[in-house]
Amino acid sequence: MEDLVRAGATDEPCDDARVVLEARGVSKTYHLGEVDVHALRGVDLSICDGRMLSLMGPSGSGKSTLMHIIGLLDRPSEGSVIVEGEEVSRMAPNELAAVRNRRIGFVFQSFNLLARTSALANVELPLVYAGVSGNERSRRAREALERVGLGDRMGHLPNQLSGGQQQRVAIARALVTEPSIVLADEPTGNLDSVSGVDVMTILQELNAHGITVVLVTHDDTVARHAERIVRLRDGMVVSDEAVADRIRASERREAVVKEAGGEG
Amino acid sequence: MNLLESMRIALRALNANKVRSALTMLGVIIGVAAVILLVAIGTGVQDEITGSIEGLGSNLIFVFPGSFEEGPGGGGPGGISTRQFTIEDADLLQRRLGPEHAVAPVLQGPLTLRVGNRTMRTVVAAANENAGEVFGGDYLDGRGYRRSEVSAGARVVILGSTVRDRLFPNQDPVGETMSVNGQRFTVIGHLAAQGGSLTGDQDNQVYMPITAAQRLIGTTDVGLIAVKAATADDVEALQRRIRQVLTPRFGDEFSVFSQDQTLGIFQQILGTLTFMLAGIAGISLLVGGIGIMNIMLVSVSERTREIGIRKAVGARTYDIMSQFVIEAVTLSVAGGVVGIAIGALGARVLTQWVPTEVTAWAVALAFTFSAGVGIFFGVYPAYKASRLDPIEALRYE
C-alpha cells in the first residue's frame, strides 16, 4: 500500500494528530456511452483529525466527486478510502450507511432538508437511523439546534425558514450524531453574504471544538476560512498549501453587514 | 430503526398527500366492500334456502322424472322428451311402500285468481291428502282438503298468507268463493306466513287437490312425487325400494333424492356461486392493489431526493424498504377496514330485499387479502426505492 504511485501527494504531516480520513490512489471513471470520463485520476489525500481543509477547483475539477467518495456516498473506481483507520471503500451499502451515520455529517449547497418536516424532526433524522429514540433523541436534536442559534425555530418547517436558517438546520443535523468529520459542499453557495458569514462562523466554531471540517468550494474567500487548501484540476491534485492569512468569519461579520446595506 | 418509527414516517407521508392517499385507498375500499357484500348475499341466500328445505319437514324423499346422470341433449329432469309421472305412479308407490310412509304426487303451475274486481297471478302447489306432510304450514283458520275431495277433484282451495292479504284484506276468507282460471272455487283454509322455500315463495301460493289442479292446467301429469319416510332411519332403504318399484316402468328415466341430497346439491351450487361472486369482487381488489403499486411507484420517483437525504444521513436498505412497504400496507389495510365497514353496512341495507349474512370468515379473508395486496404491490416500489444509489438520488431534480 505504501509504495503506491502518488500523483500530487498531499502527505502533510499531522504532527501528533492522527489521520482521520485518507484517500489513496482514488480514481473515478464514468462511462458515458463510448466515452470514458475520468472525474478523478489517482488522488491521494489525508486529512488530520481536528483540522479544517478546503477542496478547491473549478467546476469539472472533480472536487465534488472526491467529496462524495470520501463521504462514502459514492464508490471509487480504483483506490481506497480509509476512515479512522478502517478501509471502507469495499464495504456493503448497509455498512457504509452505518459509517455515514456515525462518523460523517453532510452540509449541502441546497440544504437537502426534508420538506414538510419540522426543523427538529430534520435534525432528529440521523438519530432515528442510529436507533436513538424518545427523550434522548429529542434532547440531542434540541441541543444541536441551540448550538447553531435556532433554539427558537425548532417547530418551523423548512419553507418557513430563511436560506441561512435552513443551512443552520442542516449543520445541526450534520453534527447531532457527534461525527468526527463534517463535509460541507458549497455551504454558502445559495446564501446571501451575511447568512454565508454566519454559516462559516458556525463551521469554524465546530472546528474549534475538535470536529474535522472539509469545505468544498470554488470561492477563494470561502476556502481561506480553512487552515489548508487542496486544489484540484482535471481530477488531479495540483497544489496543497497552508493558508497564510486565514479568515475568521466572526471578525468579518460587521464589515459584511455594512457592505450589504445594514441588513442582517 | 424500529417498526413504530417506520409507521410514523409512513403516516406522515400519507398525511402529506391526503387526496392522493384517499383516492388510492378508494380502489381497495371498493374491492373489499364488494367482496364483503357479495359474499354476504351469497351466504344469506344459501342460508335461507337451506333453512326452507329443512323447513319442508324431515325425512323427505323427492322423485323426479328424467335422469340427472344423462348427458347433454338428454331429457333431464322434467324435460319435454322425458316420460312424466302420473297419479297412478304415486298410488303404486303408496301401495308398495306401505301406509306408514306418506306418498304425495306434486304438481305446480301458474294460475289467475279473481275475487270481485281484484285479480292476481300466482302459483298453485297441488298434491293429494298427504299435502300437509310435504308442504308443511300452519292453518290460521279452516282445514286441509280430504281424501274424498282429492278423488272427486273438488274445487276447494287453501290460500297462502300473501294471496289472502291481497284478495281478502282484513277478512276471514274461509267459506268465501273465488274464481281460479275462471272456475269457481271455495276457500276452505288459509295459512300463516312461512317465508320462501324450495318451491318458491310459499306465502304467494295457493294449495288445492292435485286432481282439481290437473283439470285447471289440462294435464294428467304430476311434476314430482314426494315421499315422507316414517323415520329418518328408513330414508335409505326407502330410496332403494322406490327405485325397485319404478325401474320396471321407467328404466333409469327418473331420479331419487333424499332431502339431505337435495340440500347438498343446492349448497354445492350456491357455494360455487358465492365463490364466483367473491372471485369477481376479488378482481376489483386486485385492481385496487395495482392502483396502490402505481401510486407507490410515483411516490418513490417523486421522493427520490428524500430517499437520497435519508440514505446520506444513515438510512439502511431495510429502513427505506420498510418505510415504503408500511406506507403501502397502511393504505391497503386502512382501505380494507373502511371497505369492510361499508360492505357490512351495505349488507344491512340490502337485507330489506335480499337475505344477507356477513360472516366472520369473509371479513377475515377480505382483511387478510387487502393486507396481502399492500405487501405484494408495495414490495416492488419499496425495493426500487431501497436500491437507489444515494448520490444519484441526491442529484435527482
Give how far B17 is from chain A: nearest CA, Å: 11
The reported pTM is 0.72
Cβ distance of B319 and A129 shorter than 8 Å = yes
Q: How big is the A-B interface in CB pairs under 8 Å?
A: 65
Nearest CB to A125; choose among B313, B318, B390: B313
Cβ distance of B309 and A94 shorter than 8 Å = no
Confidence of residue B195 (pLDDT cuts 50, 70, 90): low
Class of the domain covering A19-259: alpha beta
The C-alpha atoms of residue B224 and residue A162 are separated, in whole angstroms, by: 89
Amino acid A15: pLDDT:
65
Confidence of residue B73 (pLDDT cuts 50, 70, 90): very low
Amino acid B232: pLDDT:
81
Confidence of residue B71 (pLDDT cuts 50, 70, 90): very low
Cβ distance of A108 and B305 shorter than 8 Å = no
The C-alpha atoms of residue B217 and residue B110 are separated, in whole angstroms, by: 8
Asked if residue A119 has pLDDT above 90, the reply is yes
Contact between B208 and B108 (Cβ < 8 Å): no
Q: State the average pLDDT over residues B364-372.
A: 87
How many percent of chain A have pLDDT more than 90?
76
Amino acid B74: pLDDT:
43
The C-alpha atoms of residue B105 and residue B91 are separated, in whole angstroms, by: 9
Q: Is B104 helix (H, G, I), strand (E, B) or coil?
A: strand
DSSP state letter for A191: S
- How many CB atoms within 10 Å of residue B393? 21
Q: Cell numbers at residue B300, please?
A: 418513490
The C-alpha atoms of residue B159 and residue B122 are separated, in whole angstroms, by: 11
Amino acid B55: pLDDT:
65
The C-alpha atoms of residue A185 and residue A107 are separated, in whole angstroms, by: 6
Contact between A193 and A259 (Cβ < 8 Å): yes
Contact between B327 and B14 (Cβ < 8 Å): yes
Confidence of residue A153 (pLDDT cuts 50, 70, 90): very high
Q: State the average pLDDT over residues B70-85.
A: 56
DSSP state letter for A186: S
**pLDDT tens sequence across A37-61:** 899 999 999 999 999 999 999 988 9
Residues in chain B closer than 8 A to A116 (CB atoms): 12, 16
Kindly write down the DSSP assignment for every residue of B222-257, as one continuous string: ESEEEEE-SSGGGHHHHHHHHHHHHHHHHTT-EEEE
Amino acid B138: pLDDT:
80
Q: What is the mean pLDDT of chain A?
A: 89
**pLDDT tens sequence across B370-384:** 888 889 899 999 998
Asked if residue B198 has pLDDT above 80, the reply is no
Cα dihedral B13, B19, B20, B24 sign: positive
Q: Which residue of A has its CA nearest to B318?
A: A94
Interface pTM (ipTM) of the complex?
0.89
